[in-house]
Amino acid sequence: MDELEKGLSDIKSSPKEVGTVELIVRRPETGEREVLAHAELDSTHGLVGDNWLTRSDGKGRRATANPDMQINLMNSRSISVIAQTRDRWPLAGDQFYVDLDLSAENLPAGTVLEIGTARLEVTSEPHLGCKKFKERFGKDAVLFVNSDEGKALNLRGINARVTVAGVVKSGDTIRKVD
């Protein structure tokens, strides 16, 4: 936990207005990850080729896709502290890892983000550490992201929906839109 907390100052210094897409990950099937150089975003399917729309509930039944959880974004500085090595970032299960302040104060629900040529709207659906996150990163990581400060900073990430389709490339800009 001490190591995680030491990373807070770096996480808190993330850019507030304009940041960078550091990594894009598609989840074609449950438990599978594909690191992408570029991705297509669509208002119906989310990240094209991702299983968000068709995934099961874990019991073999098709789950109802929640449009407020279409796209998952995580702060790249946060996952860097938690995962320790970049090759472990995709285990978190998010689609976009961005160097941008994702705190509730900086990006409240309704905030519009331009990412590549697409636009997203931040939703109010919480994104918290779960059983899988604990299995992959440990108990302290879950306590860290789900602490009061972790929730305020959205250390586990945020949810969004696609409002304007487009293409996103690794290294692209992500920015708040007024």
pTM: predicted TM-score of the whole model, two decimal places: 0.93
**Spatial distance between the Cα atoms of 109 and 105, rounded to a whole number of angstroms:** 10
Q: Where are the beta strands (DSSP E) in 8-89?
A: 18-26, 34-36, 38-42, 46-47, 71-75
- 81-96 pLDDT, tens per residue? 999 999 999 999 999 9
Closest to 94 in 3D by CA, of 49, 138, 125, 50? 50
DSSP code of residue 48? T
Domains and CATH numbers, the chain: 2-177 (2.40.33.20)
Local confidence band at 34 (pLDDT 50, 70, 90 cut-offs): very high
Closest to 99 in 3D by CA, of 162, 35, 164, 12? 12
